[in-house]
Amino acid sequence: MSGQAKLSEKLPEKSIGRLPFAAPLGGALARLGLGPRALVIAIPTVWLLVFFLIPFVVVAKISLSEVAIARPPYLPLWEWQDGILSLSLNFGNYLFLASDPLYYSAFLESLTIAGFSTLFALLIGYPMAYMIARAPGGMRNILLMLVILPFWSSFLLRVYAWIGILKTNGVINHALMSIGLIDEPIVMMQTDFAVYVGIVYTYLPFMILPLYANLVKLDETLLEAASDLGAGSFTTFLTVTLPLSLPGIFAGSLLVFIPAVGEFVIPALLGGPDTLMIGKVLWNEFFSNRDWPVASAVAIAMLFVLVIPVMLLQKAQQSDGGHS
Amino acid sequence: MKKRSLFIIIAGILGFIFLYAPIVSLVIFSFNESKLVTVWGGFSTKWYGELLQDPQILGAAWISLKIAFVSATLAIVIGTIAAFVLVRFKRFRTRTLLSGMITAPLVMPEVITGLSLLLLFVAMQGLIGWPAGRGMTTIIISHATFGAAYAAVVIQSRLVDMDLSIEESAADLGAKPVRVFFDITLPVIAPALVSGWLLAFTLSLDDLVIASFVSGPGSSTLPMVIFSKVRLGVTPEINALATIIILIVSVGVIAAALSMQKGKNNNVS
């Protein structure tokens, strides 16, 4: 392992320098501390800097400016007037977020909905991942493909499918009424219940796949040893399987929780007007109110809320990569 | 032991029913004669006919396909270089920065990505005059960026698994590094390139939120048109469209899985 790593490290650097066309150019750039290796590194780094990282700086900047009826609809942050640079930082947008209970409760509701959805996805996904991991070889691949398949088909249309199922004259109400279980249709659409169903449904593969990757590595002899020592199947699960699968649970939960917090499509299509999720609030600030500075402030606040789970995920993935 | 297996199997099967019931109902009601999506009014393919005569949907589908093709291709180039750099160059100054920037788009809420890219494009237009207005170019750049993140993950895992001795022996035999990369590395990771490209392509076709932020007049993508129609209520036409998409995706994924299986077997023997 270490020998391989060393070789691979030396190989590209030394050898890219031998390119015929790179020689004269490389010489000049090398004096600036930019070898051909640095150029290869620069391509993705610069692209992501410009189109991923710098945009956040722009958002942060606009969150500090004032809304205006103009194109673009905000006032500039700094101005040159008579040779004097006047800088006007406006924290009003953040004060507005803090003072209006709408934003606070939208954040709280997003975190609650995302948290419980993650829990439900775990409860549904764990047995599925376990079943796939324990299935015989050929069957395992088929089941795995069945989990991935919906992920490839349109997200929007999978959310749309639930409208037909949940609405007042939808599939569920029809079925329940025709067998006489209920007389009045149950209202499910435009409720938080529909939002939960939508989130759990669309993010389920994100929960199952890391769980499966973890459970499939589980050493069967440990389970046998536990049962030989007299542990019942439930005890074995609680003391062996569950603790060993914690990294999978952790990774899957974060992969569901983080995007669910900022979800827009599901609350917009399945939720009601009182389903306040922060992604929907940001969307409305931007598209309906055309208040770019407040929308930016909401985005920055959301980043602060998500920075801890994102860093945990990054750490989980790095430690996972280190093991394999 | 047995009792647990039975519980797991029942729970697992219920899970799969949960995954597929909505898809099955979408397909069934696309063949429904009645306009009421949930009341069965007899078998009919009229909604498919209506779909194929809807210029708005067809136009948007064409725009979406063009955007997805170009952005997926761009994504695979950036993603491959990023994956190669992260796997093969162990130490460089911007390593943490690059690895952070390549994984963060995977979990970043789309509303934030969309808003931040739009504000960037507006600021860039003000500073350097490019891109002039929003439209297909800005959607392509945005989709290429998050597509590259997904592609990089897929390619990275293939590069990590790759047997380095082939590259090393080619280099020992005097092959120049660019030649090693194009003659050895790329063919070996080709299956990952294909799945990475397909992933970026479908993600682009599927994206509603980011495209809504960065699109301009005349560049409404298919998801944007679907969203505006769906908001007004359920229409069987969309069910027909969904069925066609599901059919294409299923055939594609199954074919890809089979060919990969075959490739794996060939490698082993």
Determine the pLDDT at residue A78.
Answer: 64
User: What separation, in Å, do the N-terminal and C-terminal C-alpha atoms of chain B show?
Assistant: 37
B112 vs A contacts (CB less than 8 Å): 59, 262, 282, 299, 302-303
Whether residues B230 and A299 touch (CB distance < 8 A) is answered with no
For A59, the closest of B12, B91, B115 (CB atoms) is: B115
Q: Is residue B138 pLDDT above 50, yes or no?
A: yes
Are A160 and B26 inside 8 Å of each other by CB? yes
* Mean pLDDT computed over B82-107: 87
CATH number for B31-268 (one of 1.10.3720.10, 3.40.47.10, 3.40.50.2000, 3.10.20.30): it is 1.10.3720.10
- Cis omega (within 30 of 0) for bond into B55: no
A&B contacts, CB < 8 Å: 269
Please give, rounded to a whole number of angstroms, the shortest distance from the CA of B188 to a CA of chain A: 16
Candidates A117, A114, A121, A66; CA nearest to A305 is A114
Residue of A nearest to B175 (CA): A15
Residue A171: which of B25, B113, B126 has the nearest Cβ? B25
Domain ranges of chain B: 1-29, 31-268
Test mutation, A14, A62, A160, chain B, max B CBs within 10 A? A160
d(CA B54, CA A166): 27
Cα separation, B173 vs A202, in Å, equals 50
CA distance A70 to A191: 37
Closest CA of chain A from B114, distance in Å: 10
Per-residue pLDDT of chain A (324 residues; tens, 9 = 90+): 344 444 444 444 444 444 455 455 555 555 555 667 888 899 999 999 999 999 999 999 888 887 776 667 777 766 666 666 666 677 788 888 888 888 989 999 999 999 999 999 999 999 999 999 988 888 888 898 889 888 888 889 999 999 988 888 788 888 888 888 888 888 888 889 999 999 999 999 999 999 999 998 888 888 888 878 877 778 888 888 888 899 999 999 999 999 899 999 999 999 988 888 999 999 999 998 888 899 999 999 999 888 888 888 877 776 654 443
Q: Which domains does chain A have, with CATH numbers?
A: 2-63 (no CATH), 93-323 (1.10.3720.10)
Torsion of CA A198, A200, A205, A207, to 10 degrees: 160
User: Locate tokens 């973890």: which residue?
Assistant: A214
Does the pLDDT value for residue B224 go beyond 90? yes
For an interface test with A, which of B30, B115, B124, B209 has the most A Cβ atoms less than 10 Å from its Cβ?
Answer: B115
* Dist. CA A252–CA A203, nearest whole Å: 10
Whole-angstrom Cα distance, residue B242 to residue B228?
A: 15
pLDDT at residue B8 is higher than 90: no
Q: Report the alpha-carbon distance of residue B115 to residue B106 in Å, rounded.
A: 16
Which tokens hold the place of A274? Answer: 């009182």
Q: Which residues of A touch B113 (CB under 8 A)?
A: 55
Lowest mean pLDDT among A93-107, A134-148, B203-217, B246-260: B246-260
Q: What is the pLDDT of residue A139?
A: 87
Residues 6+ apart with CB under 8 A from A287: B212
Q: SS3 of A17, please? A: coil
Is the CB of residue B141 less than 8 Å from the CB of residue A51? yes
B chain contacts of residue A255, beta-carbon cutoff 8 Å = 107
Query: Are residues A294 and A96 in contact, defined by beta-carbon separation less than 8 angstroms?
Result: yes
